[in-house]
């Protein structure tokens, strides 16, 4: 499972957007069925930003579904089509 940890770049909005975009495109092309994005627990502000990014219409086309990890609320699982 591929993983993107947003902790090191959480202060820079441009870096967050770029990192998520590159991560999703590369994971969609790699054929991995599931990837995780780790915004962390914190105040929830970064989590809301990640979910809003994933819900954009043009980004939504890259993956099948997304879910909050039931065992770890600081993690988002993104499911892709298997190639």
In terms of DSSP bridges, do strands 76-79 and 65-68 run parallel, antiparallel, or are they unpaired?
Answer: antiparallel
Of 57, 53, 42, nearest in space to 7 by CA:
42
55 lies in which domain range? 2-79
Kindly tell me if the per-residue pLDDT of 13 is higher than 90: no
Kindly tell me if the per-residue pLDDT of 59 is higher than 70: yes
Q: Which helix (H) or strand (E) holds 31?
A: none
Domain count, the chain: 1
- Residue that wins the pLDDT comparison between 41 and 65: 65
Question: What band does 82 get if pLDDT is binned at 50, 70 and 90?
Answer: confident
Give strand pairing partners of 66. Answer: 78
Question: What band does 19 get if pLDDT is binned at 50, 70 and 90?
Answer: very high
CATH number of the domain that 33 lies in? Answer: 3.30.1370.110
Percent of the chain with pLDDT over 70: 99
């Amino acid at each position: 499972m591929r993983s993107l940890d947003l902790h090191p770049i959480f202060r820079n909005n441009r870096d967050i957007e770029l990192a998520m975009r590159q991560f999703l495109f590369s994971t969609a092309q790699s054929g991995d069925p599931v990837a995780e994005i780790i915004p962390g627990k914190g105040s929830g502000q970064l989590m809301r930003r990640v979910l809003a990014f994933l819900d954009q219409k043009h980004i939504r086309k890259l993956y099948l579904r997304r879910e909050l990890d039931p065992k770890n609320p600081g993690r988002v699982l993104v499911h892709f089509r298997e190639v």
